[in-house]
Amino acid sequence: MHYESEETVTENLTLARHDLSNFIAKNADKLSDSDLQFLQNHVLNRLNIVHQNWIILQDKR
């Protein structure tokens, strides 16, 4: 199985969070409050959890 380097994964997660934050900012007036909350609270938090889990897995290798 191919593993990305921690630097690559971290960079991709950072870019994903940045892209999502930009999308939210640009489309806030078009999204419902529940959609905004879902994107901000659920999706961004999920990206943060994935990143933290990635770091933990790297430390265990």
Distance, in Å, from the CA atom of 18 to the CA atom of 27, rounded to the nearest integer, reads 14
Is the confidence at residue 30, as pLDDT, over 90?
Answer: yes
**46 contacts: CB under 8 Å, gap ≥ 6:** none
- pTM greater than the 0.75 cutoff: no
CB 17 within 8 A of CB 54: no
CB 47 within 8 A of CB 19: no
Query: How high is the mean pLDDT of the chain?
Result: 83
